[in-house]
Structure 1
Amino acid sequence: MTQTPSSPVDGMEIRVAVSTVIFSLRHDRDAEIPRVIVPLVRRTRDPHEGQWALPGGWLGAAENLEAAASRTLAETTTLAPSYLEQLYAFGDVDRSPSRVVSIVYWALVREDDSRNSELHNVAWFDVDALPALAFDHAQILDYALWRLRNKVGYSRIAHGLLAETFTLADLREVYEAILGRRLDPANFRRQVENSATLIPTDRFRTGSHRPARLYRYNHAVELADRGPLPGSAADH
């Protein structure tokens, strides 16, 4: 584990960690909409040995925050997210036996990638059926889910859960899973087609139903406001 920088304040050492809430989708055979799922890591030492926690690790002394988030994700879960964004800093005095400030990111992983990431101490859980979590990680996860549900309406983050090309039904399923409710297909199609965020391709998905046109995102349109800060490579 990379040693974390620390700062003594009034005799107390403050340690900086980086954690990530990772969202993906899981289709069940008989479910109307996909489930939103997150990976958790079982702790192997105290405090909270044996409990589930968000993946993370210490910030390296010569490491920027986003690089640390990507590194700790790879080390604990083998996952490489398709979307990564800083969420919030959590630093309540009593959140850990020692004084730890966690810089938390949230990330999106496509379903195929999430199915290929099972490790012996990592498991995926439905966001509506979580086990007891270590530290304040339940609060962190609740906040990340709130952020996801609020942001899906004015950004293109749904792309982080989709393949490069997708049908409108695929896109609607992502919205339905995140929002937790069914959407009217006709209204959804009209709103999306009027948004200028999608580009129709000349390809169709064929199968047991009528062929469905495949779309891709218009990367010239960026609705997620990051202000003057540069975006990560996953955002482009």
Structure 2
Amino acid sequence: MSGPLEVLPPRWRQDRFVLSEQALWGTPVVRGDDEALMLVATPGAGSVVRGLGAPERVGDLLDEVACDVAGKRGPVHPTRWLSVPRGTRTSSGTLASLRLTHVSEWDWLTTSTVPRRVAAESAVRRLDTTAEVAAVRDCLRAANPGTSADPAGPDEVAWWGVDDGTGEGVLAGVVGATARGGPGDAVTWHLHGLGVRPGLRGAGVGSALVAAATRAGLEAGAPWVSLGMYADNDGARRIYERLGYRTWARFTSFGPAGVQRPPD
């Protein structure tokens, strides 16, 4: 055991979400125990704070973090991003101390089961992210303009796409996978950047992309594949659950005023 895991209470050293994010933390400041955990990391200009476990206990830990900020004691000023389990008590005073406002409700899902094949999967192909990077970005601008996913990112494993049928190199939909942490030296995959052009939705393209990418990750030896989704996206949830995904963690996130997504 090395890196951030050695400073964690025992329960969290085997948690899928913690293992997935371990490379992002360096050596975090840790508060809590096996019941609830607060991680504070400062990878860049400002801190990222993550709460896990029992919401009522996480609320108490969050108050402690806010007190440190108010007293200029802790390493959490300014705070770039905060995510806590849904149901965590977050008072207006606490959020004001951290200079944060509500941004989103989202879920983190995982699967270790190779999904069944879906009808449209025969149209999915693995993309050449050197030759087709511009085509992927063009598709993302139309299909998922809010994503921070990029095929040229440093941790990208692969991207998959479906052609729009015009023969002009235009992609109807795409999804990518990044490498994340896992148990021991294992590498897990995290899917991101899923998008299908608005005029081409409803034909099973999204399901096919997720099925193909998930299968590729598990067949490559990943102990699990993960993805994140907004909590109110019921249509996407039904697709993911049909493909074997189950919700591992549920979060409420906060950021500085005007921020729409987590920092890169």
Q: Same fold (TM over 0.5)?
A: no
Higher share in strand: 2
**TM-score normalised to structure 1 length:** 0.26
**TM-score normalised to structure 2 length:** 0.24
Higher relative contact order (CA 8 A, sep 6+): 2
